[in-house]
Amino acid sequence: MAVGQVSFPQMNPIAGISLGTTNAGIKQTVRADILVVQMAEGSSCAAVFTQNAFCAAPVHVAKAHLSQSPRWLLINSGNANAGTGASGMSNALFTCEAVAKLVSGAATQVLPFSTGVIGEPLAVDKIEHALPNAIAQLAEENWTAAAQAIMTTDTFAKGATRCIEVAGEKITINGISKGAGMIQPNMATMLGFMATDAKISSALLQEILSFSAEQSFNRITVDGDTSTNDACVLMASGCSAAPEITAESPYYQVFADAVLAVCKELAELIIRDGEGATKLMRIVVEEALHDAEAVQVAKTIAHSPLVKTAFFASDPNWGRILAAVGRAGVENMDLDKVQLYLGDVCIVENGGRAASYTEQAGQAVMNKEEITVTVRLGRGVATQEVLTCDFSYDYVKINAEYRS
């Protein structure tokens, strides 16, 4: 169940980007588990991928095909095609060829993506059989269906959209993502697919996506696990009437900010849907020497099972947070300068418990569904925020029964 009120947004179609879904019966037969995305000829494409050394076969193939002017994406849920060796690579390539035959394209123009159980062979026969129907469903309006097709343990479909104006013309940016567990992005622990009708080069698109992913998907964690599979793709069809966005364009930053906003919204939705989550926590580290230090401290807190279980219990056991700060690896930290807040309640200052702190005040914050933890290190001016969620009984149940 999601933390907070969430709903799938109304998304405008994006000219030049079509989406089609179907069910192949890979793991279930209730909803779609195949998504095909078609880009207009001449589209630009950028992507970021997981840094897990055991990355899945489709990741290897998608990386290799990214420079070959891709026109199609093929996504399946229910099976990760990871840890499958040479046969997994053959199966990933086979699915690209199967798409290419149906659309009269080249297999190298297809980027494959898979998500689901690791170590099981991909049912390529089921995918091949289902592909004609997915392609027959291709339409620019199918964003909701696309978001549903890529879900695994997600409890709701995730989407975000922004519209900007460039020289009097409208540009739209839509994004969908999946992810609820195995979330500790090392770019990227989720599947995300974003598209726009802007005219922009692949090189600039990659620059914008890499920055946006670092500031959004790399600032979230559910459980500290980096996936073998996942990736984020940003496509640009170039079908808008707006002028091309270049590095020198006065609209470059407006566009980049809109992409970042979509990424941040999708990232937050992943945390709101964290497996078994009942609370969303914003871990804000201020007055760090540099951004890397701030992220390091924030993630140490966010990854701590003791911190996360205390939040599930609504227990203001602030010693667990303090201990996480202390083991975050900050060199020469002046404890007397460290301040720790739960919401606006000061818990720690001058090297110990704040004189003004009361258990009642701390409890009032911990009873909330969304909580901000602020750490001020007193070392510099850098500030970073990491989003995480609590660990509940359901997290264990979901992952214990994942293959059932």
At 323, list the tokens.
């201990």
Helix (H) or strand (E) holding 128: helix 124-136
**How much is the average pLDDT of 4-23?**
95
Domain span holding position 74: 17-272
257 and 141: one domain? yes
Give the whole-angstrom CA distance, residue 150 versus residue 158. 10
Do residues 254 and 243 lie in contact, with contact meaning Cβ atoms separated by under 8 Å? no
Residue 87 clears pLDDT 90, i.e. is over it: yes
Lowest mean pLDDT of 27-31, 131-135, 189-193, 339-343, name the range.
189-193
Compute the C-alpha angle 290/362/374, nearest 5°.
10
Lowest mean pLDDT of 48-57, 277-286, 301-310, 332-341, name the range.
48-57
Give a yes or no: residue 48 inside a domain: yes
Alpha-carbon distances, residue 105 vs 63, 73, 98, 109 (angstroms): 18, 12, 10, 7
**How much is the average pLDDT of 282-292?**
98
Q: Of 237, 272, 307, which residue is a domain's last?
A: 272
Summarised one tens digit per residue, pLDDT across range 345-365 is: 999 999 999 999 999 999 999
268 and 335: one domain? no
- Residue 226's pLDDT is 65
174 and 316: one domain? no
38 and 151: one domain? yes
291 and 181: one domain? no
Summarised one tens digit per residue, pLDDT across range 92-133 is: 999 999 999 999 999 999 999 999 888 999 999 999 999 999
116 and 188: one domain? yes
- Residue 188's pLDDT is 46
260 and 392: one domain? no
Return the exposure string of 328-352: e unless at least 16 CB atoms fall within 10 Å of the residue's CB, then b: bebeebeeeebbbbbbebbbbbeee
For the annotated catalytic residues, the residue numbers are: 189
Give a yes or no: residue 37 inside a domain: yes
Confidence of residue 308 (pLDDT cuts 50, 70, 90): very high
Q: Of 255, 272, 289, which residue is a domain's last?
A: 272
Give a yes or no: residue 2 inside a domain: no
Residue 286, domain CATH: 3.10.20.340
Give the whole-angstrom CA distance, residue 42 versus residue 219. 33
Residue 205, domain CATH: 3.60.70.12
243 and 389: one domain? no
**How much is the average pLDDT of 76-91?**
96
179 and 284: one domain? no
Give a yes or no: residue 268 inside a domain: yes
254 and 379: one domain? no
Residue 297 clears pLDDT 60, i.e. is over it: yes
DSSP-derived secondary structure letter, 107: G
Give a yes or no: residue 1 inside a domain: no
Residue at token pair 């804000």: 284
- Residue 350's pLDDT is 94
- Residue 402's pLDDT is 65
Give a yes or no: residue 302 inside a domain: yes
Task: State the total domains in the chain.
Answer: 2
233 and 375: one domain? no
Give a yes or no: residue 3 inside a domain: no
Nearest to 262 by CA among 298, 182, 206, 208: 208
Q: Of 272, 306, 337, which residue is a domain's last?
A: 272
174 and 261: one domain? yes
Give a yes or no: residue 374 inside a domain: yes
**How much is the average pLDDT of 365-393?**
96
Q: State the DSSP string of 67-101.
A: TS---EEEEEEEE---S-HHHHHHHHHHHHHHHHH
